[in-house]
Amino acid sequence: MRLREYVVALAVATLAIIGISPAAQATQGGTQPGNDGIHKVWVCKYSGTPYVDEVLKPGKNPIAVDASATVGEWFKDGQTSSYVIDEVTDENTAQGETYTGEAECPSGRSFDWNWEYPAPTCTDLVVTYPENIPAGQANDMNVTFTNLVTQATTTLNFHNNGGTWSGTKTFDFTAHSSWPDWGYYAVTWVQVGGTNYHWQGSVTCGERVKPEKPAPQVERGQWEVSDYICGSETVEKTRTITTTDWVWDASAWEWVLDQQSSTTTEKTSRDMTEAEKAEHCAPPVVDVCSNIDGVQTEVPQGYKANQDGTCSPCEPPRIDVCKNLDGMQTTVPEGYEVDDDGICTIPPVDVCTNLPGLQTEVPAGLTADEPGTCTMPASVEVSDWEGEPACGVATFTQFALKTTTTYQLDLSGGIVAWLVDKIDVETLYRTVVLEGVIPCEDASASITVTPATCAAPGSIDTVSTEHATATETPATEPGDHSVTFIADEGHAFAGGATELTVEYTIEDQATEGCAVDEPQEPSIDGSILGEVCTADAPYLGYDIVLDDPDGQYEGDGTATLTFVHPTDPSQNWTRTVAIGSGRILWPGASVDEDGVADGWPGWEYSTATESWEPVGDANYGWTREPGVEVILTVNPSKSFTVSYPPATPECNSEPPTDIVVVLDAPPATAVAGVVTYTG
């Protein structure tokens, strides 16, 4: 992307704040026949800014000039650019100094603002700047990173405060003072000053670290007595130990407790107390049936005692204990139970042992585990996805809210109720990939034509485009023409169209009403002045255009700029400059050797307070008042009204109160003038 250019327009003139290069050096040519021994060359003259909007100057081109310049060389000629296409010879010169040779004037120097650079890596970007990049267009680079864990973003700015870069430049991301040092991130966007091309994508860097698994969660119950062993005079105790492990949730990128737990029983024993012996252990008993396991203090039912201390079963009559079942059942079959009437049935199974009453089926809305515990499952709701795409991109991010509600059983009051235990809200993200980039309807194209005059036919004044490119070079000869413009990728014209045809007409040179006038006096009506702020320093920019169609000007090629004091002419401030384009520091302002402001009108630095203090009209403080008059004198003269450049976030024209990074400057403000002629 090109950095902001300081451009103001008045009529068809353009103020381009550029330096005046010295005249091009050339080799001395030989004397040409028919030219009285004077070396002359054919020169094409241009207007506009080189590599930006440079075009052939309307009127006669080429023209013969006295110069020792080399064919094929560009040089600064007065306030315009010139190009040498041939030497003047008798063979290529017709009467009236008209060029008859085969060489043609180039269309003007241009620069491809769409030059590209390679994609970045995780740690740097390598940029090779074009050799013909315009001055001041390569001192910024911006790169954006996204933290792939937190989705946070940050943009690093590389700025060359001491000038511009050239050749091949490597930008080391990790060496930047604001490098975030993330372990898992992506490079998503790069902007390089001096090109309209922006890299956009995703270079994934690093690896997301999985956190260490926590130790299982263990809950131990209270010790409870399970048995009193009188033979060993010990007490046995038991308690439950419930262990819940952690499971990995990849979507949330965290360890969560498993919904299933394992329960074990821990056993131990201790010595029985005397009180426990008295309460739980009876005196020794006599075993009346030594042949039957255990101690029988009485002859068991259905047995008879023998004289030797043993017991043998009686022979009772067989009884059918299950009257309702087929066949003879002398004992209750396994899995059955019998009532007092001798009816055997299979008892129902309680599937929810933690709920009061008998549940032969799992109640609606609940789930049961293997031990017979019924629970209310968690409810999960996901909201609608939100997020809309923006124009110019192929992907965008949407988000939704995931709400998880868990429940716990409440049996207070004898009523079964499921109460909300916890509500968790989680934000979900997803990337949506579009089938194509939605174009931004911000492309435009137009052609402005200069009307024909008695001196010359009409011509193309400007071809203006924004995010669009012409399919052909616009025709410049008189007649009706049209040019088709194509919108750049990711852009469209108003209404969504990607093509726009612009029609225009160039008039023939006017013939009617073209009387021969008296020699026209020189004019500087096309000149403009404007205030400019650069690197926090105030400047007065100028574009002095001397229009002298009949050769009446006899000056030395310079002009004077005078800031007029509102009441005291002795305090006027005057500078002499070369006719053409340039800028001068505002009265009372100063810069250091790097061009950074270190003085401002109306202010002085106090060493006592170590701060800048206002001094009113002193140090040309009166030039800060709105509507200061500046007189441009070339003969003729022209009066302008200018105002001190206001402070902006990009350029502070006041003494500093904090540190400001200057990326570019605001456009100059053009001012109208009143012309007076004194000669």
Express each pLDDT in 319-360 by its tens digit.
888 988 888 888 889 888 889 888 998 888 888 988 888 888
Q: How many CB atoms lie within 10 A of CB 562?
A: 17
Assign 3-class secondary structure to 125-177. EEEECCCCCCCCCCCEEEEEEEECCCCCEEEEEEECCCCCCCCEEEEEHHHCC
- Structural contact between residues 435 and 453, judged by C-beta atoms closer than 8 angstroms: no
pLDDT number for residue 169: 93
Residue type, 542: Y
Express each pLDDT in 414-423 by its tens digit.
788 889 999 9
For the chain, domain boundaries: 9-99, 124-206, 217-313, 378-433, 444-506, 528-676
Say which range, 39-43, 360-364, 586-590, 675-679, has the weakest mean pLDDT. Answer: 675-679
Does the pTM of the predicted model rise above 0.75? Answer: no
Residue 544 scores a pLDDT above 90: yes
pLDDT number for residue 315: 76
User: Edge-to-edge strand order for the sheet containing 628-633?
Assistant: 573-578, 558-563, 628-633, 637-642, 673-676
Express each pLDDT in 255-286 by its tens digit.
999 999 999 999 999 999 988 888 888 777 78
Residue 222 scores a pLDDT above 90: yes
Say which range, 28-42, 222-236, 635-649, has the weakest mean pLDDT. Answer: 28-42
Residue 549 scores a pLDDT above 90: no
Give φ, ψ of 93 to 5 degrees: -125, 125
Q: From 412, 457, 634, select the one nearest 529 (Cα to Cα).
A: 634
Express each pLDDT in 362-420 by its tens digit.
898 899 887 789 999 999 999 999 988 878 778 889 999 999 999 998 888 778 888 99
Residue 498 gets which letter from DSSP? S
pLDDT number for residue 314: 82
Tell me the C-alpha to C-alpha distance, in Å, between residue 469 and each of 47, 463, 503, 648: 22, 10, 15, 33
Q: For the chain, give the mean pLDDT.
A: 84
- Unique residue bearing structure tokens 């052609």: 447
pLDDT number for residue 38: 62
Q: From 458, 675, 459, select the one nearest 546 (Cα to Cα).
A: 675
Q: From 270, 286, 275, 284, select the one nearest 229 (Cα to Cα).
A: 270
Question: Do you know the residue count of the chain?
Answer: 679
Residue 517 scores a pLDDT above 70: no
Residue 665 scores a pLDDT above 70: no
- Unique residue bearing structure tokens 């009816």: 343
pLDDT number for residue 133: 86
What average pLDDT does this structure show over 657-664? Answer: 44
63 alpha carbon, distance to own chain's centre: 52
pLDDT band at 73 (very low <50, low <70, confident <90, very high): confident
Residue 35 scores a pLDDT above 60: no
Distance CA 597, CA 9 (A): 26
Cross-strand pairs, 403: 381, 425
pLDDT band at 205 (very low <50, low <70, confident <90, very high): very high
Distance CA 639, CA 628 (A): 10
Sequential DSSP letters for 554-595: -S-SEEEEEEPPSS-GGG-EEEEEESSEEEEEPTT-EE-TTS
- Please give the structure tokens belonging to residue 444: 């435009």
What average pLDDT does this structure show over 482-492? Answer: 91
Q: Which of 3-7, 24-28, 160-164 has the highest mean pLDDT?
A: 160-164
Buried b (16+ CB within 10 A) or exposed e, 427-442: eeeeeeeeeebbbbbb
What average pLDDT does this structure show over 209-230? Answer: 91
pLDDT number for residue 469: 95
Residue 17 scores a pLDDT above 80: no
